[in-house]
Amino acid sequence: MHIETLKVFCDLVEMQSFSLAAERNFVTQSAVSQQVRTLEEKFKRKLLERVRGRREIRLTPSGSVFYKESKNVLDSFNQLNENMNSLVGRVSGVVKVATVYSVGLHELPPKVREFMSKFPSVKIDLEYSRTTRVIREVLKGVVELGVVAFPEPRRGLTIVPMASDRLALICPPDHEFAERSEIKVKELKGQDFVLFERDIPTRKATDKILKSYGVSVKKVAEFDNIETIKRAVEVGFGLAIVPHPSVIDEERNKQLSVVELKEKDWKRPVGVVYRSDRDLSLAAKKFVKLLEID
């Protein structure tokens, strides 16, 4: 039995997908299935079962024990590699990071490039998701680090603050607000708005700030993806409030007009989160150090 087989099994359990587990490990789906069968034959126990009518993969009682111990083996093996590499001052390995789209697509790439230039033997494995799933994957140990906006204190999580963003108003170039350099929140009353979905932290913060100023806006659409929101504003659905770094290219290309929100409330904190009970790999520690506020 190879260490790679244990990794494939754990990835399958965590990702709930044969195709994604295969992709992550650079093998075929049939190879994933075969490795699971080999494990079950070796231990003479059923480890996984498929839920009828659903794509869910469920651990059997034996599978739960096997998964837990496999994670321990993988953690120990990774620690062994790290300790051996540290003897010669080498930082290497893979750092799995889950992040929200707005941060991952528009703010992390320069940091990842800087990190890779300093530590070329390390790979940053980035995946994009919504905040609730990022936090869930960190707590489950699927990823080592999470990067989210409006990180909330939670038992079992450590938060390392990064530089915060300003939220900005975006509108089509032909909108009445397009030539403004700044705008007061009360001027937004009754305007058509494209919003993030209700469970997304930026939406929660936006609703809270608008309410504190007694301002109500007209919701015309809700999306969970910042790229979709930008396109909706561009074609004239309405206004939107988004992190300024996410619209720099559209502002430069004159696809969208970006207007500063005057009040000091329009800030978006960003932070790295990881499990408090987990010793980060040396590579992850270096990446967090690069991201945190100086």
- Helices assigned H by DSSP within 96-200: 101-106, 108-118, 131-140
- In angstroms, the Cα distances linking 68 to 61, 71, 79, 140, 291 are 11, 5, 17, 11, 31
For 14, the token pair is 């965590």
pLDDT at 57: 85
**Which CATH class for the 1-89 domain?**
mainly alpha
Can you give the pLDDT of all 294 residues of the chain as single tens digits? 788 999 999 989 888 888 888 888 888 999 999 999 999 999 999 999 877 666 678 899 999 999 999 988 988 887 787 677 666 566 778 899 999 998 998 999 999 999 999 999 898 999 998 899 999 999 988 899 999 999 999 999 999 999 999 999 999 999 999 999 999 999 999 999 999 999 999 999 999 999 999 999 999 999 988 999 999 999 999 999 999 999 999 999 999 999 999 999 999 999 999 999 888 888 899 999 999 986
pLDDT at 88: 57
pLDDT at 228: 94
pLDDT at 90: 66
**Domain boundary assignment for the chain:** 1-89, 91-164+269-294, 166-268
pLDDT at 146: 96
The CATH code belonging to domain 91-164+269-294 is 3.40.190.10
DSSP per-residue string spanning 97-110: EEE-HHHHHHTHHH
pLDDT at 292: 92
The DSSP code for 200 is S
CB–CB of 272/291 below 8 Å?
yes
Among residues 246, 259, 100, the alpha carbon closest in space to that of 172 is found at: 259
Fold of 166-268: D-Maltodextrin-Binding Protein; domain 2 (3.40.190)
Domain pair 91-164+269-294 / 166-268, same fold: yes
User: Rounded to an integer, what distance in angstroms lies between the CA atom of residue 165 and that of residue 127?
Assistant: 21
User: Rounded to an integer, what distance in angstroms lies between the CA atom of residue 229 and that of residue 222?
Assistant: 8
User: Rounded to an integer, what distance in angstroms lies between the CA atom of residue 7 and that of residue 96?
Assistant: 14
pLDDT at 87: 63
Global pTM exceeds 0.75: no
